Amino acid sequence: MAKEIANTTSFLEYAPAPESTSILHLKKSYGLFIDGEFVDGHGQSFSTISPATEKKIAEIASANTADVDTAVSAARRALDKTWSKMSGADRGKYLFRIARLVQERARELAVAESLDNGKPIKESRDVDVPLVAAWFFYYAGWADKLDYAGLGANPRSLGVAAQVIPWNFPLLMLAWKIAPALAAGNTVVLKPAETTPLSALLFAEILQQADLPPGVVNIVTGAGETGAALVRHPDVDKVAFTGSTGVGREIAKAIAGTGKKVTLELGGKAANIVFDDAPIDQAVEGIVNGIFFNQGHVCCAGSRLLVQENIHEEVVDRLKQRLSTLRLGDPLDKNTDIGAINSREQLERIRTLSDIGEAEGADRWTAPCVIPENGFWFAPTIFDNVETSSTIAREEIFGPVLSVLTFRTPAEAIAKANNTPYGLSAGIWSDKGSKILAVADKLRAGVIWANTFNRFDPASPFGGYKESGYGREGGRHGLAAYLKSAATQGAKK
């Protein structure tokens, strides 16, 4: 790949502006967070590294089956003894306290997230961490209003929730999982991704600071086996998973017939549809945000650009110009637009799929970035003239790679957009409101953005159709995924 990247010096050179890491006081090693305390794990510990430098950040404990069992027992005890007995208003107070502590420690959390994940500090600082606080504030407000969640009076929590999350938005996915679960009166055992455990462990410290009763939230670090043991545990009532469709399918099979409730937030291959009457400058920014935000490690990324044929050339030219100004490099530098790819494995996957795209005949263009010597990097890449049947039009690449397809009529745009096994998100760019509504109505996608992309709000439900999973997170719908109606369960107040 190196030979494709011209070693040019951009006329837009910026002096380095690295965010200081002095705010972080990391320990050399971290245990599991069970029953309100950090304890040793009995699995083989592992290192978490910075994907930008490949340097070790800390040693992380791994939970084996017995540790998972201890964590689930702690969650069950906390449910029975404290959390289910507490009023909604009191649960809300803890959630408000957590939200405020996230705000107080925002800079530290953003630095930790960028260090461990590789995402640019301006994204973790301005998007991830503020949204984490927003999620806790939002669900804190729901805790004493569950009668209005749409399940009748006195809805009940499901019980102990097992939550497994991916590496692309480590702290934000934790917030999406923990905030509604606690507001609805559940207790939690959460497993972060193996490559990004750090912010979840700092969050455990925040829970201690907030005096959350022991066992209400437990965090078990480890690899896939830890997640598998957790979701299968017989004393778990609810499973919430965000990750790949393959693992989601395995989990669905493993727990089928057990009576556990489940929500699955899986992959995507979103269409970002640009009509010829769209404001082009705005659309170009939206396309860039849609697929190059967070290095394209975004389940709802606009990875398929569907552009109307008569503006195809203009849009692709402008995109190339825009991408040539993006700065790739140190995630902790405040000027960085494109950070590191999260792991060597993910980099290999992006490289393999891109090579397949080229072999299948699409035109490959790579932004002229200087690639740092160490770490995992992939320069923003566009594939033009992609066929609907091409692998890179069908499979999720989960990297900074855009596939460009064209259409002539709205009907063709809709048919191409829906021609995917996924159905998580979509974008529509047009000056005409009626066209946007008519097209949106026919797209089989859980979230549809109009003249914008990758906007998130805790009040808005998020989730997919088809192989993108089932259930919704966010908003009132996200609460319903952690509640049962008192009437249907015969529960007394």
Binding site residues, ligand NAP, CB under 6 A: 164-168, 191, 193-194, 223-224, 227-228, 231, 242-244, 247, 250-251, 265-268, 299, 396, 398, 424, 469
Nearest by Cα to 113 from 242, 37, 24: 24
Nearer to Mg ion, 329 or 446 (CB): 329
Site string for Mg ion, 139-178 (x = CB under 5 A): ----------------------------------------
Which of Mg ion, ligand NAP, none lies near 220, with the C-beta cut-off 5 to 8 A by kind? none
Closest contact distance (angstroms) between CB of 176 and ligand NAP is 8
Closest contact distance (angstroms) between CB of 346 and Mg ion is 11
Nearer to ligand NAP, 132 or 231 (CB): 231
Which of ligand NAP, Mg ion, none lies near 227, with the C-beta cut-off 5 to 8 A by kind? ligand NAP
Which of Mg ion, ligand NAP, none lies near 43, with the C-beta cut-off 5 to 8 A by kind? none
Closest contact distance (angstroms) between CB of 8 and ligand NAP is 32
Nearer to ligand NAP, 297 or 312 (CB): 297
Alpha-carbon gap, residue 106 to 264, rounded angstroms? 28
Identify residues 391-450 at the interface with Mg ion (CB under 5 A). Answer: none
Computed from CA positions of residues 27, 31, 32, 38, in that sequence, does the dihedral angle turn out positive or negative?
negative
Binding segment (CB under 5 A) for Mg ion, from list 115-123, 238-246, 287-295, 314-322: 115-123
* One of 157, 195, 245, 403 touching Mg ion (CB under 5 A): 195
Nearer to Mg ion, 302 or 375 (CB): 375
Count of chain residues binding Mg ion (CB under 5 A): 3
Which of ligand NAP, Mg ion, none lies near 71, with the C-beta cut-off 5 to 8 A by kind? none
Which of Mg ion, ligand NAP, none lies near 116, with the C-beta cut-off 5 to 8 A by kind? Mg ion
> Is residue 221 a contact point for Mg ion (CB under 5 A)?
no
Alpha-carbon gap, residue 183 to 476, rounded angstroms? 11
Provide long-range contacts, Cβ within 8 A and 24+ apart, for 90-94: 91/143, 91/144, 91/182, 91/183, 91/185, 92/140, 92/141, 92/142, 92/143, 92/144, 92/183, 93/140, 94/182, 94/210, 94/211, 94/212, 94/216
> Is residue 108 a contact point for Mg ion (CB under 5 A)?
no
Closest contact distance (angstroms) between CB of 290 and ligand NAP is 14
Closest contact distance (angstroms) between CB of 144 and ligand NAP is 28
Alpha-carbon gap, residue 369 to 119, rounded angstroms? 17
Which of Mg ion, ligand NAP, none lies near 265, with the C-beta cut-off 5 to 8 A by kind? ligand NAP
> Is residue 116 a contact point for Mg ion (CB under 5 A)?
yes
Which of ligand NAP, Mg ion, none lies near 140, with the C-beta cut-off 5 to 8 A by kind? none
> Is residue 48 a contact point for Mg ion (CB under 5 A)?
yes
Binding segment (CB under 5 A) for Mg ion, from list 46-54, 79-87, 172-180, 424-432: 46-54
Binding segment (CB under 5 A) for Mg ion, from list 156-164, 183-191, 192-200, 352-360: 192-200
In the numeric block, which tokens belong to residue 369? 């970035």
Closest contact distance (angstroms) between CB of 223 and ligand NAP is 4
Q: Point out the residues that are catalytic.
A: 265, 299
Query: Tokens 């999260």 correspond to what residue?
Result: 342
Closest contact distance (angstroms) between CB of 114 and Mg ion is 11
In the numeric block, which tokens belong to residue 120? 């640019």
Chain residues binding Mg ion by CB under 5 A are: 48, 116, 195
